[in-house]
Amino acid sequence: MSHNSSPKIRLVLLWHMHQPFYKDMVTGEYRLPWVRLHALKDYYGMVKLLDEFPQVHQNFNLVPSLMAQIQDYVAGQAHDPFFDLVSKPAAELTPSERHFALQYLFQANPVNMIGRYPRYRELWETYRATSDRPEGAEAYFGTRDYADLQVLSQLAWFDEYFLEGPDIAALVQKGEDFSRDDQQLVIAKEREILAQVLPAYAAAAQRGSIELSATPYYHPILPLLCDSNVGAQSSPGLSLPTRRFRRPEDASLQIERALDSHQALFGIRPKGLWPSEGSVSEEVVMLAARQGIEWMATDEGVLGRSLDFNFAREGNGHLSADAAERLYGIYRYQKNDTRMYMVFRNHRLSDLIGFVYSGMPAQEAANHLIENIKSSARPLLERGKDPVVSIILDGENAWEYYPKSGREFLRRFYDALQHDSEIEAVTISEAIARNKPDDFKPLQQLVPGSWINANFNIWIGPPEDNRAWDLLSEARDYYDRHSQKVSAKQRKLAWEELLIAEGSDWNWWYGPEHHSANDRDFDELYRRHLSNVYHALEGVPPEELNTPIISGVVRPGYIPQTAYVRAHVDGLVSGYFEWMGAASYTSDQRSGAMHGRQFLLDAVFAGLDADSVSGRLDFQHGVPEGAYRLMVNLEVRRDEHDRKSPMQSYRLAVDAHGQTLQKWVLSNGQERRKLASFSADDGKSTSNGVEVALREIFEFRIPFARLGAQQGSRIRLRFAIWREHLPVDSLPLEGWIDLFAVPEEELENNLYSFAPHE
């Protein structure tokens, strides 16, 4: 392609689509439903959206074990107890199925998925209010409730495209009291949707709108499969498993199987590899190159360590000109006879989409991203070069945090890309083809690392992780010793289970870094895969596989209000008793399937007394330096017994610099009418009884009169911190802190014992 006179940014967008392997190969049962649910929600819509933007080319990385599970569903061979549960007539559910329904069918984002459907939210709130009671939540759910829950728990996962279809739109409109016919329509629709997913990718790839890349088949951390000791190469002094795991032949096979599977499904062999979690090492690159892979991608942190260069951000989040010059290009790795093109993701831009823009209006977020892509690449454009900027992230998990699955944001972003003469969205192979030979940057060495902190500490080192590795090593050695003694069919099954157990997902949830409501399921499933190896080889699994690897799991701490709170608002921690009885929510920094969120808030407290609401916010590492804004969003239903009365919204916005409070405004509703305010500049205050203080902590109190609240009202709060016009952290992360204005003695019984969503 000819070089245009004016330089252009080549924007590489890569969406990584992945779910763990949930199927037990022996029983054929799916342990968790996330493949099916994400297939309904994002896999189709994310690629379908590009029909509207033919000039916006993108990269989709599809993990083969994910595709195998989708194919299993499409063929009608997936035995999914969750699907059986929502398909069964509500009146026929057994007590244990009813319990199972309440345990799993509320596992969705409470604001954007549950909250979108009023009846689903009502059911969820009933569940939260009753789940801790001795008689159990089941006592409060009748057949009609289960029937509605079965349908709404599925609709909540439907892609925006499918919600627009007339039959589904009619169900959404109906809202509640779903019939058996409605239920069967939803089930039939799910089968239809699942069948459309993979063909949509094949079609987009054939017309050149996207490039498909692969990950090794069961998503293993390749460098650790090649040699578990590289964990300590990236983190000197890391404690390693007792047994050293060294199976480069397994790593090679996981790559080969991935390429074969893409070829079989899409008719083309991928040129590129997004190695699981961006994990690379020189040995891995060599293995991939031998299989004909032309490009690999990972994170800027790995490049920084390999070049011995620190990609530090300036105040505005941009790299220095020197750093931009190094990051925004394509590297050619060369060592002995190994050649590989490599791209390195811009960490900050990827994280903005993953964690920040969900809290902003769609158009503002799209403008901010376009502006940031341009300003970050400016140093190269000014020198007449064509920068290659790579944004790589999870293509499914972020969208639960956006209203309507983030489609509005993506549409506006893609539309801006399509109309911007300075940026061209390209596939990685297109970016490589457009480079002149001397545009490639040489890379002679590669330090082993992943996209998280350029090391492997998430998957190896902590006791739980190391134990998981030792059990895998033991099973792998057992296979070598015993596989020839059984039939080819049994040998094949044992081998498959081993490859599954080599996947990275199990260790994602082991160790101190991450957890979800499904930790126990993951732990049991991992041990099941390993036990199946022994059973298939007609052996007895070691006793350790019967005991959980996971130790006690700490949940995000939520405590409901148990007594009236009337704090002394001075911004100081004045002792334990001041906030005793308040509802509190403690930040849980390990939750979720995505890594990289910034945590600035440590805990929030809120409580009512007879005539006011008080709140307190504690910071993670002390009060932030520099300028920031604190936001408290409040919603008030004047009379909780009148469920038809609307929630009124209010906002307290506080501008500060370090410990200095500059101004605050309490406003209401959409029109943001000012109800009370203060400004340090002119010393003006129309506080109307509102008190706000910031020193070691942030505290406030607002009289009910300012919020139109009274005894019998419901008030809920959410705290957030913004920097440079971007929302960087909030508490609770999902949902609200709920408070009810009732006499103090009722709080003591804690009738409203709401457990948080987990």
Final residue belonging to a domain, choices 491, 521, 546 = 546
The stretch 422-437 carries a mean pLDDT of 96
Respond yes or no on whether the N-terminal peptide bond of residue 437 is cis (omega within 30° of 0): no
Tell me, what CATH number does 516's domain have? 1.20.1430.10
Domain assignment of residue 368, yes or no: no
What residue type is 171 in one-letter code?
Answer: L
Instruction: Single out the residue in 486, 518, 546 at which a domain terminates.
Output: 546
Percent of the chain with pLDDT over 70: 95
Burial 592-625 (b: 16+ CB within 10 A, else e): bbbbeeeebbbbbbbbbbeebbbbbbbbeeebbe
Q: Are 483 and 587 in the same domain?
A: no
Question: For the chain, first and last CA: distance in Å?
Answer: 51
Per DSSP, the residues of 445-510 read ----B-TTTTS-TTTSSSHHHHHHHHHHHHHHHHHHHHGGGS-HHHHHHHHHHHHHHTBSHHHHHS
End of a domain among 490, 514, 546? 546
Contact 272, 211 (CB under 8 A): yes
If you average pLDDT over residues 233-243, what whole number do you get? 91
Query: From the CB of residue 503, how many other CB atoms can be counted at a distance below 10 Å?
Result: 24
| Distance between CA atoms of residues 243 and 247, nearest Å | 12
The CA distance from 621 to 693, in Å, is 18
Nearest to 612 by CA among 567, 658, 581: 567
Residue 349 tokens read as 């831009």
Confidence of residue 587 (pLDDT cuts 50, 70, 90): confident
Question: Percent of the chain, pLDDT > 90?
Answer: 73
Residue 357, in any domain of the structure: no
Per the CB < 8 A criterion, the answer to whether 544 and 724 are in contact is no
Tokens at 641, concatenated: 């017994």
Inter-axis angle of helices 407-418 and 362-381, nearest 10 = 40
Strongest mean pLDDT among 59-73, 598-612, 724-738: 59-73
Query: What pLDDT does residue 2 have?
Result: 42
Residue 434 within a domain? no
Per-residue pLDDT at 750 exceeds 60: no
Rounded distance between C-alpha atoms, residue 321 and residue 376, angstroms: 9
Could you give the 3-state DSSP secondary structure of residue 595?
Answer: coil
Enclosing domain of residue 613: 558-749
Query: Can you read off the two tokens belonging to residue 399?
Result: 């969208």
Question: Looking at the predicted structure, is the pLDDT value of residue 651 above 80?
Answer: yes
Per-residue pLDDT, 312: 86
Statement: residue 203 has pLDDT above 50: yes
Are 330 and 435 in contact by the 8 Å Cβ rule? The answer is yes
Residue 642 lies in a domain: yes
From 90-94, 103-107, 211-215, 575-579, the region with the lowest mean pLDDT: 575-579
pLDDT-derived band at 588 (thresholds 50, 70, 90) equals low
Q: Where are the alpha helices (DSSP H) in 519-652?
A: 519-536
Identify whether residues 693 and 562 lie together within a single domain.
yes
* pLDDT tens per residue across span 376-393: 999 999 999 999 999 999
265 φ, ψ (degrees, to nearest 5): -85, -45
Instruction: Find the helix or strand (DSSP H, E) in which 600 lies.
Output: none
What pLDDT was estimated at residue 589? 61
pLDDT band for position 546 (cuts 50, 70, 90)? confident
- What's the one-letter identity of residue 556? P
Q: Are residues 503 and 563 in the same domain?
A: no
Q: How confident is the model over 90-113, as a mean pLDDT?
A: 94
Confidence at residue 754, expressed as pLDDT on a 0 to 100 scale: 38
What are the tokens at 640?
């909780």
Residues 576, 535: one domain? no
- Residue 721 and residue 653 share a domain: yes
Mean pLDDT of 177-201: 97
Question: Pick the residue with more confidence: 95 or 575?
Answer: 95
- 590 and 655 fall within a common domain: yes
Is 624 inside any structural domain? yes
Alpha helices per DSSP H over 328-406: 347-351, 362-381
Condensed to tens digits (0 to 9), the pLDDT of residues 336-352 reads: 999 999 999 999 999 99
d(CA 462, CA 625): 33
The mean pLDDT value of the chain amounts to 91
Please give the DSSP secondary-structure letter assigned to residue 318. P
Residue 99 domain-assigned (yes or no): no
Q: Identify which of 11, 31, 14 has the alpha carbon closest to the alpha carbon of residue 23.
A: 31
pLDDT at 756 over 60: no
Residues 535 and 567 placed together within one structural domain of the fold? no
Report which secondary-structure segment, H or E, holds 678: strand 673-679
Is 526 found in the same domain as 649?
no
| Contact (CB, 8 A) for 616 and 654 | no
**Residues 6+ away with beta carbon under 8 Å from 576:** none
Tokens of 64: 């083969």
pLDDT in tens, 675-712: 999 998 887 788 889 999 999 999 999 999 999 999 99
| DSSP 8-class letter at 79 | B
- Asked if 688 and 609 sit in the same domain, the reply is yes
Q: Which two tokens stand for residue 113?
A: 């998925």
**What is the phi/psi pair of residue 229, to 5°?**
-70, -15
Q: pLDDT value at position 591? A: 57
**Average pLDDT of 317-323?**
89
Residue 606 has, within 13 A of its CA and on its CB side, a CA count of: 24
- Classify residue 334: in a domain, yes or no: no
Does 593 share its domain with 728? yes
Q: Are residues 542 and 575 in the same domain?
A: no
Q: Is the pLDDT of residue 737 over 90?
A: no
- Polymer length of the chain: 758
Bridge partners, 607 (sequence order): 614
* Helical (H) or strand (E) element with 738: strand 737-740
- What's the structural domain count of the chain? 2
Whether residues 567 and 645 fall in one domain: yes
What are 464's two structure tokens?
A: 């739980």
pLDDT of 584 higher than 60? yes
What CATH number does the domain containing 650 carry? Answer: 2.60.40
pTM of this structure: 0.84
Look up residue 526 and give its two tokens. 């991992």
Query: Does the pLDDT of residue 81 top 70, yes or no?
Result: yes
Residue 444 lies in a domain: no
Nearest partner of 18 among 265, 252, 194, 220, judged by Cα: 220
